[in-house]
Amino acid sequence: MKKKPKIQKRYNRISIAYDFFEWPMELFVFKKLRKMVSEELENKTLEVGVGTGKNIPYYPDGIDITAIDFSKKMLKKAKKRAKQVNKEVSIKQMDVEHLEFEDNTFDTVFTTFVFCSVPNPIKGLKEIKRVCKNGGKIILLEHVRSDNKVLGKLMDIFNFVPLFIYGANINRRTVDNVKKAGFNDVFVEDIVGNIVKKITIINNKSIE
């Protein structure tokens, strides 16, 4: 049997307390960001790294949505939430680095706070590029390493703490990773300081 990545094990471990740890940020900051991103979802949509399903209540009605995560225990919570809020969503255990979908399957692909954790982010982003249609939209709401010299350095020094507890890095350079994955039409907005960013990508496959 294939060995589980360390990060997957950490999310399985934290799943029981994940929502509790996050509730203040959720209430005051993340909730409105989730609503903002969900308003842009269209037709056939993929959510990568659905976690405990915090975006599910905001999924618009009438779209065909699939949600994946590699942590079985986070997914269990997501399934429960989908039932509670009466949303029809196809939830599957899958690794974004090895997506089991055909090329050009989705109109929209989105993530919220996921590429801080994906073990090989460039590989995961390339997989998203593959499964999203040409001209489709990819939205990544992600926290990243600060551009501020001092804060950025502090994030490097203390990265080991959330990495050990959750499996999340606080010093990922996700905008650079997006470019390294071969995306060209990339629009970046600062949402909370320069740490939480909304990265919108038009998946232009014709200029690869």
- Comparing CB distances to ligand SAM, the nearer of 17 and 185 is 17
Interface ranges with ligand SAM (CB under 6 A): 7, 11, 49-51, 54, 68-71, 74, 95-97, 112-114, 117-118, 124, 168
CB of 7 or CB of 195, closer to ligand SAM? 7
Quote the least distance from Cβ 10 to ligand SAM, whole Å: 8
* Closest CB to ligand SAM among residues 112, 200: 112
Q: Which residue is nearest to ligand SAM (CB)?
A: 51
Q: Is 25 helix (H, G, I), strand (E, B) or coil?
A: helix
Least CB distance to ligand SAM at residue 78 (A): 8
Report which residue type is found at 44.
K
To ligand SAM, the closest distance from the beta carbon of 137 in angstroms equals 17
Q: Pairing mode, if any, of strands 185-192 and 90-93?
A: unpaired
In the complex, least distance from residue 34 CB atom to ligand SAM, rounded to whole angstroms: 7
**Contacts of 93 by beta carbon, 8 Å cutoff, 6+ apart:** 68, 69, 70, 72, 75
Q: Under a CB-based contact definition with an 8 Å cutoff, are residues 90 and 65 in contact?
A: yes
Least distance in angstroms from the C-beta of 30 to ligand SAM: 7
Give 134 or 180: the residue with its C-beta nearer to ligand SAM: 180
Distance CA 179, CA 61 (A): 32
At which residue do the structure tokens 């699939």 appear?
A: 66
Least distance in angstroms from the C-beta of 160 to ligand SAM = 16
| Pairing between β-strand 132-143 and β-strand 196-202 as defined by DSSP bridges | antiparallel
Q: Would you say 51 or 136 has its CB closer to ligand SAM?
A: 51
CB 58 within 8 A of CB 33: no
Letter for the amino acid at 102? E
22 vs 64, which CB is nearer to ligand SAM? 22
- CA 48 remoteness from chain centre: 5
- CA R_g for the chain: 16
